[in-house]
Amino acid sequence: MEAPLNPLLPTDREKLWRLFLVKKTEVAMLSQRGYMLNQVAVMKIIGTSLSFPIETWLPSLQNPRLGMSPPVEGAVEPPTLSNDSPGFQAFLQHREETGYYQTRQEFSSIYYDVNGKPLVVLYLANRPGKQVSTEEFEIVNTFIQLGAQQATQPHMRFRDFILITETGLNSVNTNKLRRRTVGYNIEVFLDSELAFAKVKHAYAPITVEHIRKDNVAKWAQEEQIQPEKLPMQMNLDAIAKWYGASPFDVLQTELLGTTTDTIGYARIIRQTPTAKQ
């Protein structure tokens, strides 16, 4: 079991700060995908048991200045990210008052869309400098089994997962995901991929419409486009991962133009080739 992180210790404070940034981006990403932020259950570990109280504080993480140092009067430089910022201090106070987010695993959450369909976000632990081991991956199997046992209850029918890991999965876990999870949608992110919102920086698109593969034929007919001839975008591309795009989905993007007000383009998502084992 992980020991609680102590913000008074420099190393633990840095870990909490980085997890705070990852969580902030996670919330922005899933809000953009249509998940509700007022019905998020957070993981609480008590001994060997898990509970999931409802967290009501997450919408505040959408404040774009949260985590930034306050502006200095007369300074030219914009506010910077800081682990002494008022936003991070507010997070630490909330953590102390509620007992949430004590360990890395306790940053895990269950989100629900407007139809009540759940998405399980799991922060996987790992030994220092090592990839997630089979033992540390076991919590994923626990949720898969729990979802299968409670399949008659829609809010417990766990089929969609996001796994967040600092160092990645080992080869055993990677192969397990590839071969033994048919019927499940499981995405994997590194902490570094969620350290900031990649679609909120310079040259970010005005809008991105995610057309799922089941709707591509109708969309193509309306747009008079042959989707199979579109330029491709790999499913492990940062923007594709942000929107949870799968192979044969389409991302239709609108950008600011140079000679026109706006310019648009579309790309079809393709499977990233995997190395032969």
Would you kindly state where each structural domain of the chain is located, as residue ranges?
A: 10-193, 198-270
Produce one character per residue of 158-193: b if its CB has 16 or more CB atoms within 10 Å, e if not: bbbbbbbbbbbbbeebbebbeeeeeeeebbbbebeb
194-225 pLDDT, tens digit per residue, is 876 555 544 455 678 899 999 999 999 998 88
The pLDDT score that the predictor gives to residue 277 is: 46
**CA neighbours closer than 13 Å in the CB half-sphere of residue 146:** 12
The CATH code for residues 10-193 is: 3.40.1340.10
The CATH code for residues 198-270 is: 3.90.940.20
- Between 171-180 and 134-149, two packed helices, what is the crossing angle to 10 degrees? 20
Which residue from 23, 25, 34 is spatially nearest to 200, judged by alpha carbons? 25
Instruction: Tell me, yes or no, if the pTM score tops 0.85.
Output: no
Calpha distance 254→261 (Å, rounded): 10
- Written as six digits, the tokens of 110 are 């269950």
**CA neighbours closer than 13 Å in the CB half-sphere of residue 151:** 5
* CA angle, residues 137, 198, 229, in degrees to nearest 5: 95
Low-confidence residues in the chain, pLDDT < 70: 1, 63-82, 196-206, 256-263, 274-277
